[in-house]
Structure 1
Amino acid sequence: MFLAMWLVRVSSGVAKKKKKKKKKSAKKKPEQTDPPRIALSKFYPDGVYPEGEVQPYKDDNIWRTTSEEKRHTEKTMNEDPERTYESIRKAAEVHRQVRQHARKFIRPGMKLIDIAETIEAGTRALVDADGLEGGIAFPTGLNLNHCAAHYTPNPGDTTVLSQGDVLKVDIGVHVRGRICDSAFTMTFEPTYDKLLEAVKAATDTGIREAGIDVRLGELAGLIQETMESYEVEVAGKVYPVKPIENFSGHSIGLYNIHAGKSLMLIKNDDETKMEEGEYFAIETFGTTGRGYCIEEGDTSHYAKIYNAPQVPLRLSSAKSLLKTIENKFGTLAFCRRYLDRVGEKQYLFALNHLVSQGVVQPYPPLCDRRGSMTAQFEHTVLLRPTGKEVVSRGDDY
């Protein structure tokens, strides 16, 4: 009996010791900050990033979805040394996280320059910016009201967002030159809700109808038809929503935001086809104005011309500035704030010389008539062999 009692005590002691033994805590996954500032590589250490929304092809291309041959082609394309798909998807995930925060914090009363710099700080942090390896693909577009595109605050800009403004937010992210280009529009009162609805519907039409062998001129007609089915009532007057006829979506290339193919917003005779492996920025712009934009205001966007000619530069300051542009931005768009950020000073004369010599292209703001309102929605769509992937799609739009 003593032995039995001793065994009970021993076993009881073991049990107590087991209770005292601490459990090893599972390694806690990092959580993104608010605002987002932790590099995405911390969350995706294997380099595999979330897939966007995959839509099947239509009509004569339905067979691609289940084709073993096309699946093999797609696998081969994703295993290329550049990891093309994963680069685009990483850029898209950066875009999603940055814009979702932007849609929460942007409010009337804020300076546009503060909005731009907050968005850009998030992009640089999440993509783990490293020059031409990854970073901002083009200056953050913050286009107000009748201004539809190519406006970002220059240094010293004091413009403040107002309650009645219609704000287009155009954000570009690149990873190893693979660009995610996506945009949305914000309003803070319901007057122009139908304008936004029209443009978003037109962009969704473009995405839904896009595909391999689709002719760009016909696709433009479908976008136009959708957008023109809407109208907006402002102060008792009804305005038709018009596509901006001299704007377009575009194919995207390596370090090249406009790679040669244009998807206009008005039906036309362009028989150029979308092709397997290409990717496009499908973007639409609608307006309550005349439906045509002109250059207006101070230039903020610039880019070294793709395949720019070799020309002799007589100004040493221009040579030095060109070297900075090539090293920091390559053929990606930049703005004056970015030149300030990399330490360039008193560069306007040299910059204008590069423009006059045909080395750098200026992109002034593009505006409809004053008093009108414009809206924009845009997604990047990858034409994979087995289906189209809307890489920039998110829960917000």
Structure 2
Amino acid sequence: MSEGNSAVEEIVEKVESLSTENEPVNDVIDANDANASSSSDKKKKKKKRNKNKKPAQVFENSIGNIYRGVYPEGEFQDYNLKRTTDEEIRADFNLEEAEKTWNKFRKGAEIHRRARKYARENMKPGMTMIEIVEMIENQVREMSGTNDSLKGGMGFPTGVSLNHCAAHYTPNTGDKTVLNYDDVMKVDFGVHVDGYIIDCAFTHTFNDKYDPLLKAVKEATNTGIKTAGIDVRLTDIGEAVEEVMESHEIELDGKIYPIKCIRNLNGHTILNRKIHGGKSIPIVKNGDPTKLEENETIAIETFGSTGKGYVNHGGECSHYMKSWEPPTNANIRLDRARKLMDTIDKNFGTLPFCRRYLDRIGEEKYLLALNSLVKEGLLTEHPPLVDIKGCYTAQYEHTVLLQPTRKEVVSRGDDY
């Protein structure tokens, strides 16, 4: 009898210890709690105050405070092709580890949904492009709940490409461009959590005459998402997108324009801290037999145009990124360039950045050094991409997780 009681007591003690270990930990520690715990230590040992030490910043709107670490799932869609066996589904796949990764994507997606909702409600004609991008980026940084740009925040600079410019335009410091009522603006920004990037974009207009263009591109993107899946050939996705996109047309000022796919812009796979993961997902039929694979993360993005449907570089460069495979014989001659490279490593790593981000962290007179790093192949530059002047382009994009039994459109929202 006594042996049975001691065994029961032992089990109870183990259960209580486990429940204590598994108590949830808040993403953000309240500053008041930290002060309360430190006050008792002052009685034991009096420490010298550091007059220059700034109080810890409290992120009141941090997404972590709202969801306590578990974030809402995106939209799930069944694959078009039936997987063959349960063994195939589970092969070489650690579900527990994958769930942790998916949860980080979901946190980034929730931040993206809230930031773009705030932007859509507050963007107005007459605002400068700098005001618009800083409004979005400040929202992302606040909700991410960290000042460490390598742990979370902007996955890449906010693109606000206008009209015939389809992608890769964000204003540099001093840019006085103003948003007008008749502009067609592509809002493309990324959010990352521990390097897991949400890549998601929409097109914003004030004049409803552009609605047919936006509808065509949105439908094409949704078609690409529906078609994509494990073992699906890339060319098949492009063919499906092209068929839907180019079935649309738009009338502008009494003239009918066919809506064309911008054939040299693509979706892509996404790797940790690498926005373009190696596979390009076309938006036209291109004959590429490469197949998508289980556990890949993909960005399905489509671009429509009333112009040629082909883009070239044009305008001042603002986007840069550290090279994933830099040349082994690179020689950084300028001391200023070496210091700038250290700054880039510490603040961005391999995540894309822009010149405004360098200004924000206090870098000055860096353009010569920046260009020398590009010349040596240590950085890549990504100038704006433009179709012919006078035309209009539109973009929609979502991030999709190719899970073993279904795909999750993780960035899906009520807006698109």
What band does the TM-score fall into relative to the shorter chain?
Answer: 0.7 to 0.9
1:51 aligns with 2:73: yes
Following TM superposition, the consecutive aligned residue runs of length 4 or more in structure 1 with deviations greater than 6 angstroms are 71-74
Instruction: Name the counterpart of 2:116.
Output: 99
Post-superposition CA distance 1:85-114 (Å, at most 9, x none): 111111111101100111111111111100
- Counterpart position of 1:175: 193
Alpha-carbon distance change, 72 to 59 in structure 1, aligned in 2, over 3 angstroms: closer
Distance 2:82 2:91 in 1: 20
Deviation at 1:69, TM superposition (A): 7.4
Amino acid at match of 1:42: N
Any residues of structure 2 matched to 1:311-390 within 5 Å, and which? Answer: 311-390=330-409
1:265 Cα offset (Å) = 1.2
5+ residue gaps, structure 2: 1-58
After superposing the two structures, state which structure 1 stretch, 193-202 or 120-129, moved more: 120-129
Match of 1:229 in 2: 247
* CA deviation map 1:1-50 (0-9, x unaligned): xxxxxxxxxxxxxxxxxxxxxxxxxxxxxxxxxxx9600110122x2111
CA contact (8 A) 1:78 1:85 kept: no
Which residue matches 1:196?
214
- Alpha-carbon offset, residue 223 of structure 1: 0.3
Structure 2 residue 64 is matched with structure 1 residue 41: yes
TM norm structure 2: 0.83
1:43 maps to a residue whose letter is I
Deviation at 1:59, TM superposition (A): 3.0
Distance 1:154 1:44 in 2: 35
What is the Cα deviation at residue 73 of structure 1? 7.3
Cα separation, 1, equivalents of 2:95 and 2:334: 45
TM-superposed deviation, 1:78: 3.8
Q: 2:141 aligns with which of 114, 124, 148?
A: 124
Root mean square deviation of aligned Cα: 1.8
Contact 1:71–1:386 (CA<8 Å) still a contact in 2? no
1:240 aligned onto 2:261: no
Amino acid at match of 2:306: T
Q: Which runs of 5+ in 1 are unaligned?
A: 1-35
Distance 1:68-1:48 versus aligned 2 partners, 3 A rule = farther
Q: Distance in 2 between matches of 1:225 and 1:360?
A: 37
The residue that corresponds to 2:130 in the other structure is: 113
- Say how many residue pairs are matched: 357
1:46-78 CA deviation, whole Å, 9 max, x = no partner? x211100000111333x68xx58747977x334
Which residue of 2 is the match for residue 9 of structure 1?
none
Q: Structure 1-normalised TM-score?
A: 0.87
Instruction: Report whether the alignment pairs 1:209 with 2:227.
Output: yes
Q: What secondary structure is seen at the aligned counterpart in 1 of 2:108?
A: helix
Question: Distance between the aligned counterparts of 1:78 and 1:149, measured in 2?
Answer: 37
For 1:306 and 1:202, locate their aligned partners in 2 and report how far apart those are by CA, in whole Å: 31
